[in-house]
Chain A
Amino acid sequence: MIRLEKRPTPSQTWAYLTPLVAVVATMIAGGILFAFLDKDPVVAIRTIFWDPIFGEFAFYYRGQLLVKAGPLILIAIGLSLGFKAGIWNIGAEGQYIMGAIFGAAVGLAFYPMEARWLIFPLMILAGAFGGFLWAMIPGILKTRFNTNEILVSLLLVYVAESILASMSLGLLRNPEGAGFPGSRNLRQYESAANNELIAGWGMHWGVVAAFIAVIFAYILLSRHIMGFNIRLTGESPRAARFAGVNPNRLILFCLGLSGALAGLAGMFEVAGPAGQISIDFNVGYGFTAIIVAFLGRLHPIGILLAGMLMALTYIGGEAAQASLGLPAAAIQAFQGMLLFFLLAFDVLTNFRVRFGREAAV
Chain B
Amino acid sequence: MKKRTFLLTGVAAAALASGAFADGHAPVKVGFIYVGPIGDGGWTYEHNKGRLAVEEHFGDKVETVFQENVPEGADAERAMTQMALQGADLIFTTSFGYMDPTIAVAAKFPDVKFEHATGYKRADNVSTYSARFYEGRAIQGHIAGNMTKTNKIGYIASFPIPEVIRGINSAYLHAKKVNPDVEFSIVWAYTWFDPAKEADAAKALIENGADVILQHTDSTAPQAAAADAGNVVTFGQASDMGEYAPFPRVSSIIDDWAPYYIQRVQAVMDGTWESVDTWDGIGPGMVGIGEITDAVPADVKAEAEAMRDAIGAGEYHPFTGPINKQDGSVWLAAGETASDGDLAGMSFYIEGLTGEIPN
Contact = CB atoms under 8 A, between A and B. Distances in A.
Interface of A: 56-57, 59-60, 64, 67, 165-166, 169-170, 173, 178-182, 185, 187, 199-200, 269, 273-276, 278-281, 283, 315, 318-319, 321-323, 325, 327-329
A200 B11 contact: yes
B77 interface: yes
Interface in B252-310: none
Contact of A280 (B8, B67, B97, B120): B97
A318 B69 CA distance: 10
Contact of B159 (A181, A269, A321, A328): A181
A318 B37 CA distance: 14
6 contacts: A60-B85, A199-B8, A200-B9, A279-B159, A318-B75, A323-B86
Contacts of A185: 100
Contact of B96 (A180, A269, A276): A180
Contacts of A57: 82, 85-86
Contacts of B347: 179
B301 to A, nearest CB: 35
B162 A322 contact: no
B129 interface: no
B73 A274 contact: yes
Given A166-B358, A278-B97, A328-B68, A67 B10 contact: no
B124 to A, nearest CB: 18
A339 B83 CA distance: 29
Interface in B43-79: 65-69, 71-75, 77-79
Interface string B73-117: 111011101110110000000001100100010000000000000
A328 B69 contact: yes
Question: Majority SS of interface residues in chain A?
Answer: loop
Given A169-B359, A322-B82, A323-B65, 13 more contacts: A57-B86, A60-B14, A178-B120, A179-B162, A185-B100, A274-B73, A275-B73, A275-B100, A278-B97, A280-B72, A280-B73, A322-B31, A327-B38
Q: Taking each of A60, A67, A281, which has the highest tally of chain B beta carbons within 10 Å of its own beta carbon?
A: A60
Given A60-B11, A200-B9, A273 B74 contact: yes
A329 B11 CA distance: 29
A318 B71 contact: no
Contacts of A173: 359
B316 interface: no
Given A59-B14, A276-B100, A278-B97, A178 B162 contact: yes
A67 B74 CA distance: 9
Nearest to B162: A179
A335 B346 CA distance: 42
B160 interface: yes
Contacts of A166: 358-359
B123 to A, nearest CB: 14
Contact of B359 (A170, A182, A274, A322): A170
Q: Taking each of A64, A67, A179, A328, which has the highest tally of chain B beta carbons within 10 Å of its own beta carbon?
A: A179
Contacts, number: 105
Contact of A322 (B74, B83, B345): B83
A331 to B, nearest CB: 9
A74 B347 CA distance: 39
B160 A181 contact: yes
Nearest to B165: A179
B97 A178 contact: no
B71 A280 contact: yes
Contacts of A269: 74
Given A170-B359, A181-B159, A181-B161, A274 B10 contact: no
B227 interface: no
Interface string B143-162: 00000000000000001111
B266 to A, nearest CB: 23
Contacts of A322: 31, 65-67, 79, 82-83, 86
A341 B66 CA distance: 30
B190 interface: yes
Contact of B344 (A60, A178, A325): A178
A180 B120 contact: yes
B9 A180 contact: no
A240 B168 CA distance: 61
When A and B form their complex, which 4 residue pairs have the shortest distance between CB atoms, in order from nearest? Answer: A273-B74, A179-B347, A170-B359, A328-B69
A25 to B, nearest CB: 25
A199 B78 contact: no
Contacts of A181: 159-161
A321 B67 contact: yes
B152 to A, nearest CB: 26
B82 A318 contact: yes
A182 B119 CA distance: 13
Interface string B337-359: 00000001111000000000011
Nearest to A269: B74
A277 B160 CA distance: 15
Given A166-B358, A200-B11, A321-B68, A278 B79 contact: no
Contact of A179 (B37, B71, B346): B346
A83 to B, nearest CB: 26
Contact of B74 (A56, A169, A274): A274
